[in-house]
């Protein structure tokens, strides 16, 4: 558990917008040192200027989290400037929809690169630094928060590539939590599973690699994009509220962080299907009109 945040160092990926930026703002208000990481230079520059103005120490780095060499350089920079971080928020993520067989290999590589490899690099590089700091100082406390999604606990149709990436993050983080418990009482972990919250996730294509930008979207991908835009933009829970939930969870050493606890009914239903060896339930049971419309669009009816 981390009770005192003042003077502690936080590394935040995806810090130029959404949850990453809101967590950085809370960190600044608590007097933390901030390492801001994003792939989008203009957003990163704006965030750096805003947080510098608060008077806390800020280091900003443009990094593609899917890149081993760029993440290794970031970790070395953090170590040189601040020593081991106390808080690592592996938050950078991209969204992608469409029928699962219609995603190109490049699509898979992009989404899994950011959403899964980005978290893997964050965990494999910063955890050893944090454990070494814990060994050297009995007072040290560290916490890693990985951003997954409710899509990491459910399997909504027409967004399979995203589901796969977020299920991987949930599994990775649950295992990280258990592995940490084997070796230390001073470093812990949480997984953030937001539902639809207004952030930049539905506009991830703004940071698509150049070789993907020219790919023509399929009908299912266009439909998925439109549904995602609508759901995300109409979300009632704000990114700032979710960021506060993250800090509350760190303080309480709470593993699962949900923005919409009511959505857990769907998770329970899915788990019951698994345990009872039942076929997956209709995902549109509560909103049948959405399923009817989606099927009609995809079948050309």
Active site residue 162: yes
Name the burial class of residue 141, with classes exposed (0-12), middle (13-18) and buried (19+) by CB atoms within 10 angstroms of its CB.
buried
Greatest Cα pair distance, the chain, in angstroms, is 65
Residue of 140, 162, 195, 258 with catalytic role: 162
* φ, ψ for residue 189, nearest 5 deg: -150, 155
Strands laid side by side in the 256-258 sheet: 58-62, 33-38, 9-13, 87-90, 142-147, 187-193, 256-258
Per-residue tokens: 170 = 């949930």
Active site residues: 162
């Amino acid at each position: 558990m981390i009770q005192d945040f003042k003077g502690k160092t936080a590394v935040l990926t995806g810090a130029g917008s959404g949850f990453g930026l809101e967590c950085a703002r809370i960190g600044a208000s608590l007097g933390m040192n901030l390492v801001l990481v994003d792939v989008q230079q203009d957003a990163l520059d704006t965030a750096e200027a805003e947080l510098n103005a608060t008077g806390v120490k800020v280091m900003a780095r443009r990094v593609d989290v899917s890149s081993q060499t760029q993440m290794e350089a970031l970790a070395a920079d953090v170590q040189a400037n601040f020593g081991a971080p106390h808080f690592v928020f592996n938050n950078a993520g991209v969204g992608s929809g469409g029928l699962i067989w219609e995603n190109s290999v490049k699509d898979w590589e992009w989404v899994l690169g950011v959403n899964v490899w980005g978290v893997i690099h964050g965990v494999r590089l910063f955890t050893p630094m944090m454990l070494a700091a814990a060994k050297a100082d009995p007072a040290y406390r560290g916490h890693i928060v990985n951003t997954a999604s409710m899509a990491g606990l459910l399997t909504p149709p027409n967004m399979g590539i995203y589901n796969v990436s977020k299920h991987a993050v949930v599994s990775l983080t649950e295992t990280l939590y258990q592995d940490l418990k084997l070796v230390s009482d001073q470093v812990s972990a949480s997984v953030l599973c937001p539902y639809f919250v207004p952030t930049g996730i539905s506009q991830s294509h703004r940071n698509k690699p150049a070789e993907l930008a020219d790919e023509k979207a399929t009908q299912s991908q266009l439909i998925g994009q439109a549904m995602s835009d609508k759901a995300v933009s109409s979300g009632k829970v704000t990114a700032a509220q979710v960021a506060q939930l993250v800090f509350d969870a760190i303080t309480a050493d709470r593993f699962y962080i949900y923005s919409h606890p009511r959505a857990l009914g769907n998770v329970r239903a899915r788990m019951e299907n698994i345990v009872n060896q039942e076929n997956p339930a209709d995902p549109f049971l509560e909103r049948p009109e959405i399923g009817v419309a989606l099927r009609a669009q995809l079948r050309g009816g």
